[in-house]
Amino acid sequence: MRKTLLAALTAGVTTAGTALAQSPAPPPTPAAGMVAPASVTWAGGEMTPVIPTNGPPSAVPGGPGCGTYETGGGCGGAADALMSACGAACNGVPPEPHRIWGRAEYLYWWQHTQTSPTLIAAVPPGVAQTPGTVPAAGTVALFPSGRRVEFGGASGVRGTVGTTLPGECWGFDLTGFVLEKLTESAAFASGPNGLPALAQGYFSTGSGTPIVLFTSRPVQTGSGAGAAAATSYSGSLAAAYDSQSYGADANVRFRWYSLFADRNDALAGFRYFGLEEEMRTVANTTFVDGTTLAVRDRVRTTNDFYGGQLGLHSRMYAAPRIGVDMLTKLALGGMRQRVNFSGDNTYTFTDGTVDREGFGLYSRPTNTGTSTRDEFAAIFELTLNLTYKVSDHVSLVGGYNLLWVSSVVRPGEMIDPAINDSTVRFVADPPFKLAGRPRVDWSRASDFWLMGLNVGVVAQY
């Protein structure tokens, strides 16, 4: 059977070779009543395609979908039309010549807010001067306002490079972006008389009672005021949140069917996304005898996503130079989440003696250090762009972006506001408790999004 098949293949190749070796026959003379196509002329026995001089643009071989990868905008003259008329089709669409393109964009994006316990609170003088426990309802949140951290817009850059293989439907691209580090912070200080009264808040474990921990406090007056309440102490409180996002993805592109668009490219590739954030607090207190107390807390979170993705890049041309791009991507993979708590409290006495302990208020022995977990996550990206073709090699783009991440850990949300203050040496006379709080609670993870505007330029050759 093999010999029979080889013989048949050999005979086929020989016949084809004979046919290819023959001289071209002269073109037949059109019969009476027949008219040669307007787009074909006969010259020296060879057929030469010619661009029609009239008729709608769709008469050009390849139609409006034969534009180049990035600049698009329909056929770019005789060269594009001739290219579209040659070569095998990609799912019914003519292939492209070898192209290399690059895109540079300026980004201005906003991000999802995060919740946070009140890190800096003010206590009205009348309440602060009253002896005894201060009710949480008697405080005013200074930072963050409304227990939510809201960053403003972030500037950033995004770059893309890619190539289309010669005469093929396949291509490759690589994209990366980075946003500037955003910071939201606040700082307050009292006068020597302890006003304004500043405080940090938490919940005492066991009872769940909200506690106001003073950093500065004026002299307490009225019945029940003891000797300790007869003196004031001054202080300051500062807190800050940082946030930065970045990412990259690499894709294989395949020119797909032109369904509901002038051109569709299917994408398959790999995506990385990173989000780094940090919370810091510093509380300084100066007592009447000159002794100082400094309490510092730091919570740092990192999120690193690695996964595969699929996508679709669709282009629609409203005019020869104006088009609309829609890019959608969905990535599935693993999110490596890390939370690090650190802090300290330091007493400095008037004789120069320093007494330091390696725990703050929110960073206690039960949660200090780094905790890590791997979580399944999804990332969805949507980009809508309006494009303007300046020339065959340059286009301008501008539009809207949305990037959604299903699970991240954030410092404000990972702070456990319930504290076993019986182990906190700078809290005066707390009741004894056995509760192991604060702790790292992974159920506090939440989703995250970035959205905003982009403008840029595309160049291709």
**Which pLDDT belongs to residue 92?**
59
Q: What is the pLDDT along the chain (461 residues), one digit of tens a residue?
A: 444 433 443 344 333 333 333 344 444 444 444 444 443 333 333 333 444 444 443 333 333 334 444 544 443 333 333 333 333 456 555 555 568 999 999 999 999 999 999 999 999 988 888 776 666 667 899 999 888 999 999 999 999 999 988 777 899 999 999 999 999 999 999 999 999 999 998 998 877 788 889 999 998 875 454 545 567 899 999 999 999 999 999 999 998 887 788 889 999 999 999 999 999 999 999 999 999 999 999 999 999 999 999 999 999 988 889 999 999 999 999 999 999 999 999 999 999 999 999 999 999 999 999 999 999 999 999 999 999 999 989 999 999 999 999 999 999 999 999 999 888 999 887 777 777 899 999 999 999 999 999 999 999 98
Cα(111)–Cα(156) distance, integer angstroms: 13
Q: Whose CA is closest to 118, among 146, 89, 84?
A: 146
349 CB neighbour count, 10 Å cutoff: 12
Given a contact cutoff of 8 angstroms between Cβ atoms, the answer to whether 423 and 366 are in contact is no
Q: What is the pLDDT of residue 16?
A: 37
Question: How far is it, in rounded angstroms, from Cα 460 to Cα 358?
Answer: 57
Question: 447 near 380, Cβ under 8 Å?
Answer: no
Owner of token pair 């290219």: 83
- The partner residues of 108 in beta bridges, in order of sequence, read 155, 453
* Burial state string for 276-308 with b = 16 or more CB within 10 A and e = fewer than 16: bbbbbbbbbbbeeeeebbbbbbbbbbbbebebe
pTM: 0.78
| pLDDT of res. 375 | 97
pLDDT score at 230: 60
Cα(118)–Cα(213) distance, integer angstroms: 12
What residues have CB less than 8 Å from 179, skipping those under 6 apart?
107, 109, 154, 155, 156, 244, 245, 246, 450
Residue 66 DSSP class: G
